[in-house]
Structure 1
Amino acid sequence: MALVPWLFLTPAMLMFMVYVIAPIFESIAISFYDWDGLGTPKFIGLGNYIELMGDPDFMVSLKNNVIWFFGFLLSIPMGLGLALLLNQQVFGIRLAKSLFFFPFVISQVVIGLVFSWFYDPTNGLLLHVMAALGMDPVAILSDDRLVTYGIVVAGLYPQTAYCMILYLTGLNNLRPDLIEAARLEGAKGWTMLFKIVLPQLRPATFIAVVVTIIGSLRSFDMISIMTQGGPYGQSRVLAYYMYEKALSEYGYRMGYGTAIATVLFLLMLVYIIFVLYRVYKQEQETD
């Protein structure tokens, strides 16, 4: 009987090894070569990684990934706030929930285009709002100091909706006996939230943090649609810079591109190991 689970797992494990694990190691191996994807690869050892350390565009991309990392974390408290607001039994609340969740189910391309129009300094909605407030128009996507923050705001739009759904699901599964006991003890407001509600939402928070952080490190779509890395490459992140170097007309340097991909993979790996360690420690404490 102990063999039966392995018989079911083996096909999936083989597919995972062939289509996930093997390409990871192949990509790492390519990063040690100077290769344009067509000719004969030339082994250069750590040459690509040494070049990365002195590449100002790589440093800009890494800095922008850090901005995405911390900026995207705002979606978690924002999603929680929306969930608490929408967790009501009033007329029309289902329609309101659907409208707030809508950004998550539409394409990232559509969201990128909508926010590009929103930021348009000639006739965008932001222009009219700033004019109504007596402020001068700002070309956010053309300003190298603001462009990354503008794209992060666009990315927060669907990510907040996802976190909201996670928390709404968690709120529907709260233990009513604990809530009632806390009310009898006089708990309300912030005390109820922090002492009773949030501890029960820990699984939803865990999933929201994991998905949000991985999403911030994998950011690509919004940048490709809204700025294509501009202006002057100031909105690049590691994933987009990898694409530019390895697969676009600006590069065709497969070895260098895979070196960037390897750095991004190692950043994700460190985070995943940390998450797995925390899960293991929590399970040990529970046992």
Structure 2
Amino acid sequence: MQSTATSVGAPRVTFWERHQRAIAPWLFLAPALVLFAVYVIVPIARSIGFGFYAWDGLSTPRFVGLGNYLELLGDPDFWTAFRNNIVWLVGFLLAVPAGLFFALFLNQNVFGMRAVKSMFFFPFVISQAVIGLVFGWFYDPSNGLLFHVLHWFGIPPLAVLSDERYVTYGIVAAGLYPQISYCMILYLTGLSNVRPDLIEAARLEGAHGWSMLRRVVLPQLRSATFVAIVVTVVGALRSFDMVSIMTQGGPYGSSRVLAYYMVEQALGDYGYRVGYGSAIATILFLLMLVYIGFVIVRVYTQEKELA
């Protein structure tokens, strides 16, 4: 009789009280997830969907299935842009080791180092448009700084932005200027969190120079390296502004990249081929997805091995 009374008088545990710990985080995340879905997931899905239609952005879309993608296979301008994106990707990855080098150089307690750091930070805060214009003047074959340097060494003038062989490399060099600064900032932040006790222990064990960097410092910079690689890869694949400012895709379309060619097809001189431009955007998105997914899997595997 007593047990029955106790069970009847016991307070009821509500659903919220039973699952509060599991539900509460999702309630805090809900506004951000909704905004992410509306402004990222839905536009990506719609862009992929438009790739299966022939559409000028105004009239009724006409379903063509894989027609846009089959046309891409035979489009020489697309393959030129694709090849240039590979050059951008390989060249831009030089920003990661270069940023690490400058970060190690600047990570010293020396008089005047703050002024030197501000000079290296400067490219990061400059607009891409300004950098493109400055490098356009730098490459000027008639009176640019490159012209005077080559003339001093007795080398004939080189029209970098007018030569199909060099134009993409010249633009990549201009893009590397701020990207190295960005990677340097990431590594400087990571170096400020390196454990000094591990450094001292390694010195007592006789580690120095390259062995200290490879075995002690770099493992503690793994998160900074991951962010630097992902941001650099995304920046290389979505490169647009430098090409638009410095060459507008020329000469003769030799400096086009996928992002620039996409805009040309959807909104540019080729007419309003929104469906074809969306197909190019889908290819670019898949390239980013595959590469970044590969990097994430590698990092996860390494973290799992160290755990």
Give the TM-score of the pair, scaled to structure 1: 0.97
Alignment of 1:1-287 (within 5 A): 1=20, 2-287=22-307
Q: Deviations over 1:58-94 (max 9, x none)?
A: 0000000000000001001111111111111111100
Runs of 5+ unmatched residues, structure 1: none
Cα deviation for residue 286 of structure 1 reads 4.4
Q: Match for 1:95: what amino acid?
A: A
- Give the letter for the 1:264 counterpart: L
Distance 2:34 2:255 in 1: 38
- 1:283 Cα deviation from its structure 2 partner: 4.2
- Counterpart contact for 2:265–2:273, Cα < 8 Å: yes
Q: Distance in 1 between matches of 2:216 and 2:293?
A: 29
Q: Which has the larger radius of gyration?
A: 2
- SS for the counterpart of 1:246 is helix
Task: For residues 8-49 of structure 1, give each alpha carbon's deviation from its aligned partner in whole angstroms, at most 9, with x where no partner exists.
Answer: 111211111111111111111111111111112111111110
The number of residue pairs the alignment matches comes to: 287
Name the CA distance, whole Å, in 2 between partners of 1:276 and 1:206: 8
Displacement, 1:178? 1.2
- CA RMSD for the aligned pairs? 1.2
The C-alpha deviation readout for 1:200-230, integer Å capped at 9, x for no partner, is: 2111111111111111011011000000100
Q: Is the 8 A contact 2:139 2:145 kept in 1?
A: yes
Letter in 2 for 1:61: A
Q: Following TM superposition, by how much is the alpha carbon of 1:275 offset from its aligned partner in structure 2, in angstroms?
A: 2.9
- CA displacement 1:146-178 (0-9 Å, x = unmatched): 000000000000000011111111112111111
Task: Say if 2:226 and 2:299, in contact at 8 Å, map to a contact too.
Answer: no
**Residue 107 (structure 1) shift:** 0.5
State the SS of the aligned residue for 2:110: coil
Work out the CA distance in 2 between the residues paired with 1:181 and 1:24: 50
- Does the CA-based 8 Å contact 2:129-2:241 persist in structure 1? yes
Structure 1 runs (4+) deviating above 2 angstroms are 275-287
For residue 170 of structure 1, give the secondary structure of its aligned residue in structure 2.
helix
| Separation (CA, whole Å) in 1 of partners of 2:195 and 2:205 | 16
Indicate the percent of aligned positions where both proteins have the same amino acid: 70
